[in-house]
Structure 1
Amino acid sequence: MSTLLNATVEADRELLPAVVTAVRAAGAHLRERFVPRTELDNRAAVFAAITATDAESLPFLREPLLAARPGAGWVDDELAAGDLPAGEWWVADAVEGNINYIHGMTDWAVTATLVRDNQAVLTVVHLPLVDETYTAVRGGGAFRNGVALRASAKTGLDAALVGTGQAKPGEDRDTFRRIGESVTAMLEAALVIKVSVPATLQLIQVAAGRSDVFWQYSAVRSGLLPGALLVAEAGGTVTDTEGNPWQLSSPDFLASAPGLHAAARQVLATVR
């Protein structure tokens, strides 16, 4: 590693504690409000609850993160996609898996990722209900509660736990078709398939070696950026479904254990 790259990694690593503090504070607040039941009865109530929960969490993130990195931009639209302008941006999801949170389910987190010239360079994912904090700095490894992560060593899809999910409500018909066809194709190739949201909670399992493959037909950035960095820093492979380097502008996404990437691509190549 070059001296310049070493210095950049070290500077980003020094920023990490402030990000962890902010994300954990938001998580603690959400945990206090969490109710393991739901009384929602229509679509309007669901979206109102999502908006209200985001509003509870965002103040714990926005000001501390902007203070930690003066000059960085801010993005908290969890459904936004595509490239960002040049420079540094915070991409945060105040309640990743908010749909689960408001329905009284446990699969949710708080995330914050620093993006520099459209590359994720630092991320923190906190799961308040199990007190797990996942961190990664580009070039500096990936960790869960300070313990290094390593992607799965599997080499056969017939032994693999794989997963996908819907990125957002209201995807177009062609995306729905591709999701369905890919699930059928993977059911025939993999050991077990999991279809769930949010993406980040599947991707941290790929980074931890607990799960083996995740793909998604989407360019929604907030759900993919944290996990993409964690998987890559844990030794996994991150591309689009055709094997090209994944970028914010990529139309789809594939992350896997290194020994399964070629096989996963081959299966997904049947979906057009």
Structure 2
Amino acid sequence: MTNLLPVVTAVAREAGARLLAIYSPDARPSGRDDMFAAAHRNEDAASQGLRAALSSVRPEARWISDDDETRPLPDDGEWWVVDAVEGNVNHVHGLPEWCVSITLLRAFDPVLTVVHQPVGDHTWTAERGGGAFLDGRPLHASAKTSLDAAITVTGQAEAAQTGTYHRLGDSITAMLAEALMVKATVPSTFPMLLVASGQNDVFWQFAPVIPGVAAGALLITEAGGVVTRVDGSPWRPGDPDILATAPALHKPAVAVLA
């Protein structure tokens, strides 16, 4: 697997460079049509050659499709989970929180990931059993032991997920009574990266899509954090919710959210 990481990193960086070439901090879409046109342009630019490059080094690996993103898949074999423009909505609004995210699942468990953020030229990497890194520096989850000192974050529900809106609102209300700070944001990747680095302490999301959380889940566990379902049971990609925390905050976060 170690020989695969530099290849995947190069693929992510090349896709990121194409996106950076069409990025402007002054971008301000005038409405939905303008926004979605720019988002489609970004997807086309980032995806050029990306699938072919990954398939050339892992030809037997299958690909998570849009239809697969919210359901468990068979346990056998390897799967690529790719978001060529994670945080596309931020890119088209001139914000810096967007990235290229590539994760390899084996037996439906994340085993390798690369997340490249072109703005600032930052790259997060992790391999199962090998630790988590930002630009080559080891990452470590937070050492906090109490929610009243914790920065907690949840992912906004995806469009049309009306069934999750009330649950999301209730969870934010519950966490507001216990945590130092509660945030809701998009995309899921960035707050999870901050859990891996110890700058955020708790992240949870209902009805997450696999590309949004697979990379962060591996980085967090390799940084010493804990990833489960919201009720504390084991998590796997495609489950209907996810909870990621600093080690000492897992039980209290479950108590608030479950």
TM-score, structure 1 length as denominator?
0.90
Q: Are residue 143 (structure 1) and residue 133 (structure 2) matched?
A: yes
For residues 131-176 of structure 1, give each alpha carbon's deviation from its aligned partner in whole angstroms, at most 9, with x where no partner exists.
Answer: 111001111111111111110000000101110121421212x301
2:148 to 153, 158, 161: 158
Contact 2:69 2:238 (8 Å CA) reproduced? no
Contact 1:94 1:111 (8 Å CA) reproduced? yes
Q: Are residue 37 (structure 1) and residue 26 (structure 2) matched?
A: yes
1:248 to 226, 231, 237: 237
Contact 2:157 2:165 (8 Å CA) reproduced? no
Contact 1:23 1:60 (8 Å CA) reproduced? no
> CA–CA distance in 1 between the matches of 2:19 and 2:161?
28
Q: How many residues align?
A: 257
Q: Are residue 20 (structure 1) and residue 5 (structure 2) matched?
A: no
Contact 1:162 1:192 (8 Å CA) reproduced? yes
1:245 partner amino acid? P
1:161-180 maps to which residues of 2 (within 5 A)? 161-172=151-162, 174-180=163-169
TM-score, structure 2 length as denominator?
0.95
Contact 1:78 1:221 (8 Å CA) reproduced? no
> Please, which runs of 5 or more residues in structure 1 have no aligned partner?
1-11
Q: Are residue 71 (structure 1) and residue 60 (structure 2) matched?
A: yes
Contact 1:98 1:108 (8 Å CA) reproduced? yes
Q: Say which SS state the counterpart of residue 84 (structure 1) adopts.
A: coil
> Please, which runs of 5 or more residues in structure 2 have no aligned partner?
none
Give, in angstroms, the shift of residue 80 of structure 1. 2.2
> CA–CA distance in 1 between the matches of 2:110 and 2:131?
13
CA RMSD of aligned residues (A): 1.5
> CA–CA distance in 1 between the matches of 2:67 and 2:122?
21
> CA–CA distance in 2 between the matches of 1:77 and 1:52?
18
Q: Are residue 82 (structure 1) and residue 43 (structure 2) matched?
A: no
> CA–CA distance in 2 between the matches of 1:25 and 1:93?
14
